[in-house]
Amino acid sequence: MTARFVADVGGTNIRLAREVNGKLADIKKYLCNDFATIADVIKLYCDSLPEHQFVAGCIAIACPVNGDMIKMTNHYWQFSIEQTRQQLQLQRLMVINDYTAISMSLPVLNDQQKVKIGAGEPLENGTMAVFGAGTGLGVGHLVPITEGWKAMPGEGGHVDFAPIDDNDLYIWQFLRKHHGHVSAEQLISGPGLLQIYQALAEKNSVVPDCRSPAEVTNRALDGSCEVCVETLQQFCRVMGSFAGNLALNMGTFGGVYIAGGIAQRFVDFVLKSEFRQRFEDKGRLASYVQNIPVYLITEADHGLMGAAAYLEQNMKEVS
């Protein structure tokens, strides 16, 4: 029986699944460091399902995809798409950026795979945006086309950070003093969360003793550190402003989505925060964004889902 696979590749793990009409089956996770090449792990996965003959696949990977040669930025793997296709004896192999996959997952997420933040209802076939805080800040957009959807990845995480309130301004001054240019990623990311904490500790004349984003988050959630609580509150405010900017940029009436691993760790905190107020705080354009919904993605396999949606759409185009 012929089959197709999808893969979601990060610096630590690679997740693989069989794609069936855009859906996932036989999901397995492997450690990247256990394999010399990406072809080795994909071959192991395909061999583990001997009843299926894999003829095509789609790899979503956390690095630039600008040609045949792929070089991961956070792992030692590098490979030629064409040579890998030949090694795996596939008819077709697609490789896409991880945020292309994340963007393509948005239309197929159900209500159990996301949490709504505030008001607003999505416009059917409306443009969507997604961002996610992790090691950095990823950003993508999704626009409707005749064939389905087109993902539009970019480097939106590196836009200038714009202060809104006094805390924002103090943090901006703190980061500008230490780094010069201050981008949104320098606040909306794991390292950014720690830098917000360091700036607010200085502002409150407190010696910072947290050494990691996880420590700041844990102490904020258990209420054991006032500066950590203030840090997480400010992180949510800054995310809200950034999400509102994405909504304005391309009129994302299909919704703005939050991906990534950080916000998923404190969903209830985000829901109770000032995220939505800052999202809508756009002056004369407040009414423009009021009805745009925001969702926090809770589905762990949304990268695989997006790769499957991309594979399904593009295989139809050539069939």
pLDDT digits over 133-144, tens only?
Answer: 988 899 999 999
* Pair (245, 279) in one structural domain: yes
Establish if 216 belongs to a structural domain: yes
Average pLDDT over residues 190-201: 97
Instruction: Give the mean pLDDT of the chain.
Output: 95
Q: Does 197 reside within a domain? A: yes
Q: Based on the structure, what is the number of domains in the chain?
A: 2
Does 125 lie in the same domain as 67? no
34: helix, strand or coil: helix
Looking at the structure, tell me whether residues 202 and 123 fall in a common domain: yes
Give the pLDDT band of residue 211 (cuts 50, 70, 90).
Answer: very high
User: Which CATH number belongs to the domain containing residue 9 in this structure?
Assistant: 3.30.420.40
Q: If DSSP codes are grouped into helix, strand and coil, which group holds residue 58?
A: strand
Please state, in angstroms and rounded to a whole number, the distance separating the CA atoms of residues 91 and 311: 13
Q: Are 55 and 148 found together in one domain? A: no
pLDDT average, residue stretch 52-81: 94
The stretch 62-91 carries a mean pLDDT of 94
Residue 317 clears pLDDT 60, i.e. is over it: no
- The fraction of the chain above a pLDDT of 90, given in percent, is 92
Rounded CA separation 291/207 (Å): 42
CA dihedral 35, 39, 45, 47 (to 10 degrees): -110
Statement to judge: residues 129 and 26 lie in one domain: no
Task: Name the pLDDT band for 164 (thresholds 50, 70, 90).
Answer: very high
Q: Tell me: do 55 and 129 sit in the same domain.
A: no
Band of residue 315 on the pLDDT scale cut at 50, 70, 90: confident
- The pLDDT, as a whole number, for residue 93 is 98
**Same domain, yes or no, for 81 and 226?**
no
Q: Which residues of 11-35 are buried (b: 16+ CB within 10 A; e: fewer)?
A: beebbbbbbeebebeeeeebebeeb
**Alpha-carbon gap, residue 293 to 295, rounded angstroms:** 7
| Of 315 and 120, more confident | 120
| CATH number, domain containing residue 202 | 3.40.367.20
Co-location of 170 and 212 in the same domain:
yes
Q: 134-138, 164-168, 176-180: which has the minimum mean pLDDT?
A: 134-138
- Cβ(227)–Cβ(206) under 8 Å? yes
Is there a domain that residue 103 lies in? no
In a domain? residue 214: yes
Domain of 139, in residue numbers: 110-298
Q: What is the DSSP string of 116-134?
A: E-SS--PPTT--EEEEEES
Do 175 and 308 sit in the same domain of this protein?
Answer: no
Quick one: average pLDDT of 206-219?
96
Assigned domain for 105 exists: no
pLDDT value for 74: 82
> 319 falls in which pLDDT band (50, 70, 90)?
very low
- pLDDT (0 to 100) of residue 274: 98
Written as one string, the DSSP assignment of 64-100 is ---SSEEE-SSSS-EEEHHHHHHHTT-SEEEEEEHHH
102: its two tokens: 């994340």
Residues 249 and 132 reside in one and the same domain:
yes
Tell me, yes or no, whether 104 lies in a domain.
no
Q: How far apart are CA 314 and CA 297, in angstroms?
A: 24
Regarding whether 220 and 72 lie in a shared domain, the answer is: no
**Residue-wise pLDDT tens digits, 252-275:** 999 999 998 899 999 999 999 999
Looking at the fold, whether 26 and 87 belong to one and the same domain comes out as: yes
Mean pLDDT over residues 176-180, rounded? 94
